Amino acid sequence: MRSVEKLGVRDMGKESKDQEFKQERSKESESNKVEKSTKRKIRIVEEGVKTLYSGTYNISLGSDEVLFVFGNRSLDPSVMRIESKIAVSLETAKCMAISLGNLIRRYEASNGPMGVASKKIVSTQDNNEEQNFMAQS
């Protein structure tokens, strides 16, 4: 009789644990529904956006931002044409670096290692401020 009581207690404990587990799962399910309903849908509009090619770039650090400068070399070796400048927060720059690293890893996983062409640093002077641009040789 004693062993039956112990088994009964174990069974009751198991049932209550199962009930607790089911209650927790239903709570998680409800919270997931709330999270899904609060997500916003964003429509991306690309009208009027220009796509540019850049053969040179410069990345510089400000006090609270990162400045990306993109350009192209000219036929005249003393001229570097700046096509665009983009300033982003330090946090955005870090996210971009992580995303770019992931993109390159995925590309190399499916296409093999990418050979990086030798880069040449091109020095320019603009308004008495020297800038270094990375350019493909």
pLDDT at residue 71 greater than cutoff 90: yes
Q: What is the DSSP string of the chain?
A: -HHHHHHHHHHHHHHHHHHHHHHHHHHHHHHHHHHHHHPPP-----TTPPP---SEEEEEE-SSEEEEEEEEE-SSTT-EEEEEEEEEEHHHHHHHHHHHHHHHHHHHHHH-PPPPPPEEEEEEEETTEEEEEEEE-
pLDDT at 11: 44
Residue bearing the bigger pLDDT, 51 or 130? 51
Instruction: Tell me which residue of 136, 135, 120 sits closest to 69, measured CA to CA.
Output: 135
pLDDT at residue 3 greater than cutoff 50: no
pLDDT band at 136; cut points 50, 70, 90? low
pLDDT at residue 96 greater than cutoff 50: yes
pLDDT at 116: 77
pLDDT at 124: 57
Residue bearing the bigger pLDDT, 78 or 105? 105
pTM of the model: 0.56
Tens digit of each residue's pLDDT (9 = 90 or more) over 41-55: 999 999 999 898 999
Every domain of the chain and the residues it spans: 1-42, 56-136
